[in-house]
Chain A
Amino acid sequence: MLERLRNAGVSAWAVSRPSLLAITISLTISFVIVVAVSEQPVVAFRTFLGGAFENVYSFGSMLSIATILILSGLAATVGFRAGAFNAGGEGQIYVGALMAVVVAQAAPLPPPLAITAALMAGMVAGAIWILVPALMRVYLGIAEIVTTLMASYIAPLLTIYLLMNGGLRNPNAGVPETVRLVPELRLPRILSPSSANWGLFIALALVVAYWIVLERTRLGMRMKLVGQQPSFAETMGIDNKRVLLVSFFASGALAGLAGAIVSVGMDHRFIQSFSPGYGFLGITVALIGRLSPLGVILAALLYGALVVGAGKMQTASDVPFALLFVLQGVLVFLMTGNLAAVGRRLFGGR
């Protein structure tokens, strides 16, 4: 439904209004909660909102989280656009992350090429992880929202199995994880010592690429048509199945790349259950960003800032990190509700 709105010639303001409204309401609710539970509400709330901007380190942390969210948000967006609901970004991130480490370590290539190969391997792994749900949806009509989600529960278990039994585990580490990549095989850092890295530029470049594909290529036009009105696309001789498959794979590959960048750019290794739900957050980011390229970037930055802020707030005041989950819940609730309402408005009246 949202993919219809996006292209409906509705003004930027009309498109972003529901998001802004949802953000305002959820922040207000969080503030009320802070006031209710905290001894020092002003400090707590200020840290929550502004913590990410206190110093270079926290700003960099925000950017590094935002990098992953941009990619996983883009993954969800690409799917939504053609009418594919990839609910399994989380799983694709896991397989992408492990595959990237394996390839980086094993590839007999000079470091820049090895890094490239690692990132590509992550994308391939993500795309493979969505293969079965995609084929099931396209050829059998089985709801992908269920199958991608199911596949995403398998991925963390499979990766941990491979980690433990595939000789990948670092014997000296307490938690199950791989050995660290040697410095040459890591994506260069920015804003050291934070974990922000060149992955950010990759993510931004991909957002631009996505915009170009969507607005300036035949594939993008077909994706939109298939997403908006499959019956029309079919009548116009567009191969709905092929277009849908392409966006499934693009979606899986982007999520896999997000995982690869966690490995090669942030953690420099694969760690068991490393993801705080990047894949699921990607869906939230896509919805708040209203499937627009710029919107996805802004939503990812906002969420990155709140994650960092929530961490700081927990240490600086008596409000726990969990405030973020409340906010996120309200946000998702409002965004999905709003979608229905806006959709009804647009469908209802001319």
Chain B
Amino acid sequence: MTGSGLPNSADGSPIVTMRGIVQRFGSFIALHGVDLDIHRGEVHAVLGENGAGKSTLMNCLFGINRPQAGWICIDGKEVAIESPRQGLSMGIGMVHQHFKLVPTLTVADNVFLGHELSNGLGLVNRREQERRVAELSARYGLAIDPAAIVSELSVGAQQRVEILRALSKRVKVLVLDEPTAVLTPQEGEMLFSVLRGLVADGLAVVLISHRLAEVLRFADRISVMRSGRMVGSVKPDESSERQLAELIIGRELASNKWRGGRATGEPMLEVSHLTVSGYQGVLAVKNVSFAVRPGEIVGIAGVAGNGQTELVEAVTGLRRTVSGTIAIAGAPVGKSDPHRIRRSGVAHIPEDRLGRGVSLWSSVVDNLVVGQIDDRRFGTVLLDRKAMNEFAERLVGKFDIRLSSLSTHAGRLSGGNMQKLVVARELDPEPPMIICCEPSRGLDIGAAEFVYSQLQEHRDRGAAILLVSTELPEVLRLSDRILVMHDGRIAGEFDGAGRPSPREVGRVMLGMDALHA
């Protein structure tokens, strides 16, 4: 016992106390004096809109950001955390919203990156590192091959590497920033059972998530942020999804129901007998045929990794096909030519947001304008910066993209706001064909609803929409027709108007029922 007035953690008092945290980026204030207590043996959920400051707050705790005001206590002692390395050594482990693994290195190399284990000669001791990773992975039930190369792992496995990395030092607090956004429901369940184990060992877990159901199930304490402030704290057993949603977005959520569209005319996209190879030449898409007509949303459901990514890449011209044909508006597209396909009116909201969706190092303005850069309204020979800025301002307003300034580069946006930027850019030109993958990934519930209603509006004006999502509820909520992909094939087809049950579709997704296509 320290006996001082400062909190200590021996008797249910917090391990981490943050008080009055202020974080500015230039003239923009991301955190206006935020308080947070983290207790041992608890899962503490931090919720809030996109851009509310959740990641920023955690970056302050982890030492990535240096707050301008406020103080942080760990175990009752005031500390200054100046780098992630220091954060880690003080017992804070963090799994970031966007993974920070080096794809070309092995699992073990990544886990020990920055604090390598060395042998007597000062060289990296690979064998010892791999042994330790195997040990950690067994202890925490995070199955992984320590010698595997990270780029060859599934997203779920990559996340396990991130978690092992965070746990490679003795941490007291594990921060997970939207860990389930990219996981399959099964992987999510596994993650939470691991977290339960950690918490039972006395660790504190901070969980950032937009999935209210999982938060209500797993959190012991919930804090809600809005516009850089803590606006509320609730107990999960005294709250409901609806109540939480209102607390987060500050108003009632107008939840929209499924609404059918009217498909008309000739197919906008017609795929027949398409076969595409994926990683290392293994066939990823096998003899797939379907069509999307103007005025309908065709949803492709499936567990991640069943060929959806390769299918979309082939259709958008980003990947070569092995056999079969793709026709857009009746015209066959020959060899992979993303340029031509885009010009023929195909918008693409890609699954890989950081690699393909935004230009991380370009301004928000450039990111928005680039979708229609050839338009003369942005200047004839020289670009008209004023017109570009006005255009960007309009889209930022319409899609409620929260940012510190239009000139900041897109990489600095919060995860959800990056996604809004992509959706805004792709939908604005009113394209006849929209291919959208995981449209709501990382979005808060309000923003997700907005994007859904936008997609419906575009469908109603006559766009043909191909929706590819691993979120079954999303597919069920939007689609006029549902195709289920399993093992590279279309394993089943449902009529959206028939309101198939998640159970029914889910069985096909897992390959348990092979319906006739």
A residues lining the B interface (CB < 8 Å): 4-5, 7-9, 212, 216-218, 221, 224-225, 228-229, 231-239, 348-350
Q: Residue B291 at the A interface, CB < 8 A?
A: no
- CB neighbours (8 Å) of A4 from chain B are 360-361
- Whether the pair B358, A232 counts as a contact (CB closer than 8 A) is yes
Instruction: Provide the residues of chain B in CB contact with A232, threshold 8 Å.
Output: 355-359
10 closest pairs, A vs B, by CB? A237-B342, A235-B356, A4-B361, A237-B339, A216-B382, A349-B64, A9-B409, A228-B361, A231-B355, A232-B359
- C-alpha spacing A236/B84, complex, angstroms: 35
Query: Which chain B residues lie closer than 8 Å to A216 at the CB level?
Result: 379, 382-383, 385
Q: Contact: B59 with A224, CB < 8 Å?
A: no
In the complex, B408 has a CB within 8 A of chain A? yes
B411 A235 Cβ-Cβ under 8 A: no
Q: How many residues of B contact A (CB 8 A)?
A: 40
A235 touches B318 (CB 8 A): yes
Q: Which residues of B contact A236 (CB under 8 A)?
A: 342, 370-371
Q: Do the beta carbons of B407 and A9 come within 8 Å of each other?
A: yes
A350, B339: Cβ atoms closer than 8 Å: no
Contact string against A for B residues 331-345, beta-carbon threshold 8 Å, 1 for contact and 0 otherwise: 000000011111100
> Does more than half of chain A's interface fall in helix, strand or loop, or is it mixed?
helix
B363 contacts A by Cβ under 8 Å: yes
Taking A217-B383, A235-B316 as known contacts, 18 extra A-B pairs with beta carbons closer than 8 A to each other, sorted by chain A number, are A4-B361, A7-B409, A8-B361, A8-B409, A8-B411, A218-B374, A221-B366, A221-B383, A228-B362, A229-B355, A229-B361, A232-B356, A233-B359, A235-B318, A236-B342, A236-B370, A348-B100, A349-B59
Report if A221-B370 is in contact (Cβ < 8 Å); known contacts: A8-B409, A212-B382, A235-B350. Answer: yes
A221 to B343, CA, bound (A): 18
B residues near A225, Cβ cutoff 8 Å:
359, 362, 366, 370
Smallest distance from the beta carbon of B372 to chain A beta carbons, Å? 10
> How many Å from the CB of A217 to the closest CB on chain B?
6
- Once A225-B359, A228-B362 are accepted as A-B contacts, the answer to whether A217 and B84 lie under 8 Å apart by CB is no
9 pairs, CB–CB < 8 Å, chain A vs chain B:
A216-B379, A221-B366, A231-B352, A232-B359, A237-B343, A238-B339, A350-B55, A350-B59, A350-B411
B402 at the interface (CB under 8 A from A): no
Chain B residues within 8 Å of A, Cβ to Cβ: 55, 59, 64, 84, 100, 316, 318, 338-343, 348, 350, 352, 355-363, 366, 370-371, 373-374, 379, 381-383, 385, 407-409, 411-412
Contacts of B382 in A (CB 8 A): 212, 216-217
- Bound Cα distance from A98 to B362, whole angstroms: 41
User: Given A8-B361, A217-B381, A348-B100, A234 and B338 touching (CB < 8 A)?
Assistant: yes
**Chain A hits for B383, CB < 8 A:** 216-218, 221
Contacts of B340 in A (CB 8 A): 237
B386 CB, min distance to chain A CBs, angstroms: 12
Whether A350 touches B64, Cβ cut-off 8 Å, given contacts A9-B407, A9-B409, A229-B361, is: yes
Asked if residues A231 and B411 are in contact (CB atoms below 8 Å), the reply is no
Q: How far is the CA of A237 from the CA of B426 in the complex (A)?
A: 12
Contacts of A218 in B (CB 8 A): 373-374, 383
Smallest Cβ distance from B481 to chain A, in angstroms? 26
A4, A224, A232, A239 — most chain B CB neighbours (10 Å): A232
Q: Once the chains are docked, how many angstroms separate the CA of A224 from the CA of B359?
A: 10
Bound-state Cα–Cα, A9 to B359, Å: 13
* Across-interface contacts of B64 in A (CB, < 8 A): 349-350
Q: Complex formed: what's the CA distance from A232 to B422 in Å?
A: 11
